Amino acid sequence: MLQKISEYLYESCISKETLGGGSIADTFLVTSEKGNKYVVKTGMQNSKALLCEAHGLEALRESQSIRVPNVIFSNEEYLVIEFIEEGKPQRDFFTQFGRKFAKLHQTTSSYFGFFEDNFIGNTPQINTKCDSWETFYREYRLRYQLDLLKNQGFWTQTLQLFYEKLEPTVHEVLNGSEEEAVLLHGDLWSGNFMVDSKGEACIYDPAVYYGHREADLAMTKLFGGFSESFYQSYNEVYPLKEGWQYREPLYKLYHILNHVNLFGNSYLQSATSIIKDYLKA
């Protein structure tokens, strides 16, 4: 690996160290003869995944809203990004983080989706361009995940009923919340941001697309959420529409269904609970 990375970077790389991370890829800290350090990802299941991640990081960087590692090199085998020294959070870390995240969501598009499909974990994420957020979220987020569940055998009567009532249910929940498409990180939780040497937030491991910002915020709450100051400062910069609390579980559902597809039925009860609440409403 070091020889290949050296050739790609035109710089002699002399050591590598395994970095902690998820089960999706192998991640290394590579050091060059000059003392420069790089983060290298490899070993993805799908050959397009690293290129998609690079495109997502570049889109986030172009928003000039929040720190994102610079992409140094990418192909189907390796993704090389800037190594960022970790620091201690500033006292108002989450307040500033929330403001910057709101600024990210002011990067707009004329359509929902992205120029390419990418990945949420190891699952393909369909980003077909669409004029309607309701249609996009119903078809390319919920229905796609439900179809995967059915194919894998994770199917129940509750899922079948929800599948049959998907169109009217999604319409009832999302109707009236329409906004323009904005750039989303797509998979932001506590494992996908860090504190840099200046004490500020840096985000990475995206699943980028243009969508409804409530979907991005819902994901941040899936595994415990961030500090309340993050959400307060976000709302001061870019206030949410009334009724966001009612819609939030539907946006969490996409990621929970994906976790069932990736990791098995231990997440199925959480999905079923959300679905039953909406079917009863």
Which residues participate in catalysis according to the annotation? 187
CA–CA gap between residue 150 and residue 13 (Å, rounded): 46
Burial label for 228, CB within 10 Å (0-12, 13-18, 19+), is exposed
User: How far is 49 from 122, CA to CA, in rounded Å?
Assistant: 8
Q: Determine contact, residues 210/125, Cβ cutoff 8 Å.
A: no
Cα atoms in the 13 Å half-sphere on the side-chain side of 100: 20
How is residue 87 annotated by DSSP?
A: -
Residue pair 79/174 in contact by the 8 Å Cβ criterion: no
Alpha-carbon gap, residue 36 to 58, rounded angstroms: 21
Q: Are strands 108-109 and 118-120 parallel, antiparallel or unpaired?
A: unpaired
Show the tokens assigned to 169: 């249910």
Q: What angle do CA 242, 190, 139 make, to 5 degrees?
A: 55
One-letter identity of residue 163: Y
Token duo for residue 128: 């077909």
Do 192 and 105 touch, CB atoms closer than 8 A?
Answer: no
The helices-and-strands tally (H runs, E runs) of the chain is 11, 12
